[in-house]
């Protein structure tokens, strides 16, 4: 088993990173928070987080900067997808090549750049349906239990399977998946349907239960692409999967709805944009997803 398994460095301490940092620290791991941009950190700093039962927890993480990269043994990247490249770029040539990089974000499409930039590092992908909220710069809430999957994106990552066990001690329902790209695609379908529809309507996820025809049409358009990537479910399978998430998160606003409502960039280029790039490569035409992409882009850029 590789050493230093229990010293995690998190790059991106927002809603999800803050809650993961808290859960990992609570389970006995050493947690450091890394900043690779110029944003100021006021020290000493205590982070607060609330668990699913509403209990308050506190912990004091170490803070690292780019100059500390040589000491990082395990790097978990929890920025937004569109921040991955700018957040990791300063670490090129600084991060030890034996240090595993774990990417955790909605959407797909960052992996190829990370592979090129860090060709020798073990690269792992994570997918989670846990929910987290940022209450302030130093306060976070775990808002929803879910599954977390971790799996290898290159051969060097296979030695790091014990990380799944370690994660499972900190998070409910965490496991290792050799088919991590399938897990990513499953989440991508959910995000490609729920996020743009709710971001455009400004409504909660549950509103899609009244728009089942649109959900079905968007799923249908994705079927040939999903089959090409080895995902075998039929239309009923994908429609029901999306509607089940809409039902389970009926009272929530999707992340894209919240991003647009707050004037932040959305992750559309890594969700629908990624789907469209893959479709183009396969010579598939996805007019409904194309329309959603353009509508979100128009709303995103004033």
Question: Residues interacting with ligand NAP, by CB under 6 A?
Answer: 11-17, 35-37, 39, 78-81, 83, 87, 105-106, 128, 130-132, 134, 255, 267
Closest approach, Cβ 84 to ligand NAP, in A, equals 9
Residue 39 binding target from ligand PAF, ligand NAP, none, CB below 5 to 8 Å by type? ligand NAP
Number of residues that bind ligand PAF (CB under 6 A): 11
Kindly name the residue from 80, 183, 187, 299 that is annotated as catalytic: 187
* Nearest Cα to Cα of residue 232 among 241, 223, 240, 220: 223
**187 catalytically annotated:** yes
Helix (H, G, I), strand (E, B) or coil at 302: coil
CB atoms within 10 A of CB 161: 16
Q: Furthest-apart CA pair in the chain: how many Å?
A: 54
Which residues lie below 8 Å from residue 183, measured CB to CB, with a gap of 6+?
Answer: 127, 149, 151, 177
Beta bridge partners of 134: 140
Q: Is 245 one of the binding residues for ligand PAF (CB under 6 A)? A: yes
Q: Is 157 one of the binding residues for ligand PAF (CB under 6 A)? A: no
d(CA 56, CA 250): 26
Closest approach, Cβ 134 to ligand PAF, in A, equals 14
Residue 36 binding target from ligand PAF, ligand NAP, none, CB below 5 to 8 Å by type? ligand NAP
State the DSSP H helix or E strand holding residue 205, giving kind and residue range, or none if neither: none
Q: Is 255 one of the binding residues for ligand PAF (CB under 6 A)? A: yes
Binding-site ranges for ligand PAF (CB under 6 A): 106, 190-191, 194-195, 205, 245, 249, 252, 254-255
């Amino acid at each position: 088993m590789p050493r230093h398994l229990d010293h995690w460095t998190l790059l991106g301490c927002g809603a999800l990173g803050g809650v993961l940092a808290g859960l990992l620290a609570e389970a006995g791991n050493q947690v450091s928070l890394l900043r690779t941009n110029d944003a100021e950190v006021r020290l000493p700093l205590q982070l607060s987080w609330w668990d699913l039962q509403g209990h308050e927890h506190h912990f004091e993480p170490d803070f690292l900067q780019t100059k500390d990269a040589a000491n990082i043994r395990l790097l978990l990247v929890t920025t937004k997808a569109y921040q991955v490249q700018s957040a990791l770029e300063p670490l090129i040539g600084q991060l030890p090549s034996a240090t595993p990089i774990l990417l955790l974000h909605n959407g797909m499409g960052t992996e190829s750049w990370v592979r090129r930039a860090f060709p020798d590092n073990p690269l792992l992908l994570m997918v989670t349906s846990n929910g987290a909220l940022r209450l302030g710069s130093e306060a976070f809430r775990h808002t929803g239990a879910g599954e977390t999957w971790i799996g290898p994106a290159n051969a060097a990552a296979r030695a790091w399977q014990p990380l799944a066990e370690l994660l499972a001690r900190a998070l409910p329902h965490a496991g290792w998946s050799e088919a991590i790209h399938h897990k990513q695609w499953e989440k991508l379908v959910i995000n490609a349907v729920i996020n743009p529809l709710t971001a455009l309507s400004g409504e909660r996820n549950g509103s899609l239960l009244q728009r089942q025809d649109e959900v079905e049409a968007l799923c249908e358009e994705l079927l040939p692409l999903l089959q090409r990537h080895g995902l075998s479910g039929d239309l009923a399978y994908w429609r029901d999967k999306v509607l089940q998430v809409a039902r389970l998160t009926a009272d929530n606003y999707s992340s894209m709805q919240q991003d647009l409502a707050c004037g932040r960039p959305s992750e559309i280029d890594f969700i629908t944009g990624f789907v469209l790039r893959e479709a183009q490569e396969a010579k598939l035409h996805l007019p409904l997803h194309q329309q959603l992409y353009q509508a979100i882009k128009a709303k995103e850029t004033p």
